[in-house]
Amino acid sequence: MSNCNRNWQKDISGCGLVGFINRKGEAVGGEKIIRGISCMNERGNGLGAGFAAYGIYPQFKDLYAFHVMYDSRQAQVECEGLFKERLHVVHNEEIPTRATKGIGCHPILRRYFVRAPKEAAESCPAGGFSEDDYMVGLVMDVNLKVNGAFVFSSGKDMGGFKGVGHPEQIADFFRIDDYSGYIWTGHTRFPTNTPGWWGGAHPFTLLDWSIVHNGEISSYGINKRYLEMFGYHCTLFTDTEVVAYLLDLLIRKHGLSKRMACHVLAPPFWDDIDRMEEGEREAFTALRAIYGSAALNGPFAILFAYSGGLVGLNDRVKLRPLVAATKGEWTYMASEECSIRAVCPEPDRVWCPRAGDPVVAELDGAESFLKESEHVADLTSKTGRVAGVGR
């Protein structure tokens, strides 16, 4: 083979992702995320793309924003009947779109700004009502029981926008340039063993968690069965869905820190744990024993965002690329450095996070890449509490 032909070859890892956060909470328009994801089109094939943005609904910031896609008017009627029974809908409307070349047939797309009715709280014992739990239960019921209806975003003051197409097409279709947010993530998809359809595009969301992913979750089966024990149901036909639900379970329900949750998803190898100091070894042993069924196997790079920050994480041997950078109050993460430089030409620092070592960037703070020893006390306390075996 000639050198000329070799130059045209490239090892494609499949899927591209990019995200950034302004740690001061200052909003930026959607044009920035479009530039960041559009330079990685070779990582996708037009069968899925999407965006998540935070701070985009200030007029409804205290309400849950349900983005719903319907396959038919019958599905819409059935779902809206369920909403009428179980929610207080303050406002609902079509999700604004524009005619876009390359996007023809698409689901019916609507958004609902809602809160739980007073009756729901009054029916629970004193102090026993959680509006977040109520909303998660409703999302699961719609996606599992209403044929042809899918809630694809359900957080407060944030939204997910996704579909079948290249990133520029999905951005144009959903009018992403009309929104401003302080956290943005973007994704271009290259489906491998799951279908390319509107609900299967990234991001995957639940409450204010949103996930974009490059890779393959080969532990999907055991992760799915584990989640079902806690009332979560995977219905969107792709492996990434388990990550959104695992984060909700680990962080919101079980009270783990963001970093601890990352160590559940990408735990240290047993031989690495054996070489740790005693307290650290005890903590990570408990974490692996308790949450073995929540660990993610397979190659992956993920970005997960929430109302307070953005986190990037690789699998334990870094089989998928992830690059991070900072510039002033901004933190960036992406599959490729070119994507970061498309929106930040001269970053202060650029680095490749280590395998299994999360980068945590939060509002009003710097990015966090602390040593594991600085988390051992909290890790030991919480794993002991969950297991019921304190030190």
Catalytic residue from among 4, 15, 39, 262: 15
In 214-336, where does DSSP find H-type helix? 220-228, 241-247, 258-265, 270-274, 278-290
Is 15 considered catalytic here?
yes
Widest Cα–Cα separation across the chain: 75
Is the omega angle on the peptide bond into residue 117 within 30 degrees of 0, that is, cis?
no
The amino acid at 201 = A
Q: What is the DSSP letter of 157?
A: S
Beta-carbon contacts of 198 under 8 Å, excluding residues fewer than 6 positions away, are 69, 106, 107, 162, 163, 164
Q: DSSP per residue over 33-92, as a string?
A: HHHHHHTTGGG--SS-EEEEEES--GGGTTSEEEEEEESSHHHHHHHHHHHHHH-EEEEE
CB atoms within 10 A of CB 281: 16
Please give the positions annotated as active site. 15
